[in-house]
Amino acid sequence: MNASVENQIHFHELHPQSKTHPKEVLEGLKSVRKNLNPKFFYDTKGSELFEVITNLEEYYPTRTERKIFETYSQDIAEVCGIDSIIIEPGSGSCEKIQLLIPNLKPKAYIPIDIAGDFLLDSVNKLAENFPELPIHAVQADFNQLDNLPNELPNGSKLVFYPGSTIGNMEPEKALEFLIKLSEWIGNDGGILLGVDLHKPTHQLNAAYNDQQGVTEAFNLNALDHLNDIFEANFDKENFSHKAFYNEQLYRIEMHLVSDCEQCVEFEGEKIQFDEGESIHTENSYKYTRKQLSSLAADAGLTLKETWLDENELFSVNLLVRA
């Protein structure tokens, strides 16, 4: 790192990476409806597979959101206001924000991510592209982060939460999360939120059941990940990918279905599977514009503006305090 970059990038380590306790996983695996937190998709292999998913023909969200950012970047900046402090929970590669920075002209950028090394790599690349931008990288699990670090620049805050990541949360959790963000942004800030929209079932089912089987590999990889970090002997060969849109609950459900009756060992406990029994690995909630504005209202926020693609597949929304 050269001297100018050192001045530009500040690193805050708030919660050193904490390991998941096996009990947390065991509780899900032993419950009547077996379940696993979708965070277990994302080891190195899983993150690579997700990257491949985002480029699949059937998987419209990523490219559609990018197109919205590209098309409306000027307008987004006008409505959100320039010169703000941009905070991005779960910033990953920090690539999406780069589409907006030239117009948003932020005073500082604060990416928050649990993966410290990846975060540093990402902000170093960002700093090369935007050498004038002050960056405060925060290594933390934003789900466990209640308060922002103290020594941040002053200014109005814009939380950037793209990718419909909010869709992974149960609606009650999404509400709690928006309430927390509302506290972060205060009266003069905003939340720029990417949300995937409700649409015909066949289109959604296709996006999570791609022809090449990448989503299948992504789902099954969670079992390898469990074997790697815990004492476990899942055999991917004995499970199948299942994903479908639940029209009543407005969510894609992903499951790993046991192909046979089998017993898997996890941290010294025996987990029994019937043939056809599944582990529920992910929910990806879709919203109608009405549902989204009522969620915002419940959090004391209002939808100030919504940007859509021409087919109204995906939405980018600015939420401010009501």
Residues lying near ligand AVJ in the complex (CB under 6 A): 53, 61, 163-165, 167-168, 208, 215, 282, 284
Residue nearest to ligand AVJ (CB): 284
| Residue written as token pair 């960056």 | 135
Name the E strands within the chain: 9-13, 85-89, 108-113, 135-139, 157-161, 190-196, 239-246, 251-258, 262-266, 269-273, 278-285, 301-308, 314-321
Minimum Å distance from CB 215 to ligand AVJ? 5
Residue among 165 and 293 whose Cβ is closer to ligand AVJ: 165
Nearest approach in angstroms of CB 161 to ligand AVJ is: 11
Distance separating alpha carbons of residues 108 and 125, to the nearest angstrom: 16
Question: For tokens 């023909």, what's the residue?
Answer: 57
Least separation in angstroms between residue 241's CB and ligand AVJ is: 10
Q: Which is nearer to ligand AVJ, 51 or 269 (CB)?
A: 51
Q: How far is the CB of 165 from ligand AVJ (least distance, A)?
A: 5
Sheet holding 251-258, edge to edge: 239-246, 251-258, 278-285
Whichever of 124 and 205 has its CB closer to ligand AVJ, that residue is 205
Contact by Cβ (8 Å): 77, 71 = no
Nearest approach, Cβ of residue 66 and ligand AVJ (Å):
14
Instruction: State in Å, rounded, how far the first CA of the chain is from the last one.
Output: 43
Residue 240 CA to residue 256 CA, distance in Å, equals: 5
Cβ proximity to ligand AVJ: between 189 and 194 the closer is 194
Smaller CB distance to ligand AVJ: residue 157 or 208?
208
Encoded tokens for 253: 């459900």
- Closest distance of CB 164 from ligand AVJ, Å: 5
Spatial contact of 231 and 267, defined as CB atoms under 8 Å apart? yes
Nearer Cβ to ligand AVJ (88/282): 282
9 forms bridges with which residues in the sheet? 135
Contact 198, 246 (CB under 8 A): no
Angle at 211 (CA atoms; ends 207, 213), nearest 5 degrees: 90
φ/ψ (deg, to 5) at 210 = -70, 150
Q: Look at residues 201, 177, 194 and name the one whose alpha carbon lies nearest to residue 252.
A: 201
Q: Which is nearer to ligand AVJ, 88 or 148 (CB)?
A: 88
Closer CB to ligand AVJ, 167 or 190, in the complex: 167
